[in-house]
Structures are given as structure tokens and as C-alpha cells.
Amino acid sequence: MLGSLGPTELIIILIIVILLFGVGRIGKIAGELGGGIRAFREGLKGDEKEAKEEEENIPEDN
């Protein structure tokens, strides 16, 4: 059912959400969501750097 929503229905839903929450509050929520996604990506990059550093510091037994 949800997959059959067309552009008109999505616009109507968007208008209802804007009327319920207001433009300012939606902007604030979107900004916080974007900040959370950015922090998550930076955390992933940090984990990758730590893993590479650990691999470089492992002595090889030859």
C-alpha cells in the first residue's frame, strides 16, 4: 500500500506535516538528523583509521 503513493499524495502529506509541526521545528529536526548522520560517518571513518593503524603496528613473524 505504501509503495503506491504518488507525488500528489506525498505533497499532501508534506503539507499536513508542515501544518502540524511548523517550518521552524521541521528545520530544527532536519538539522539535528543531519548532524547525527555526519557524526555517525565521522565515527566510521575514525574506526577505519584505528584499524589501519593497528594493522601497521602488528609485527610480522617471518
For residue 34, the model assigns a pLDDT of 94
Residue 61 lies in a domain: no
- pLDDT band at 62, cuts 50/70/90? low
Q: Which domain holds residue 47?
A: 7-54
Residue 17 lies in a domain: yes
**Which ranges in 1-62 belong to alpha helices (H)?**
7-21, 23-57
Cα torsion 21, 22, 25, 31: sign: positive
Q: Does 1 score more than 60 pLDDT?
A: no
- Tell me the pLDDT tens digit for each residue of 4-61: 889 999 999 989 988 988 888 988 988 999 999 999 999 888 877 777 777 777 766 6
Domain count of the fold of the chain: 1
- Tell me the pLDDT tens digit for each residue of 19-30: 988 888 988 988
What's the CA gap between 18 and 39, in Å, rounded? 27
Which CATH number does the domain housing residue 40 bear?
Answer: 1.20.5
* 22 three-class SS: coil
Cell (9 digits) for 4: 503506491
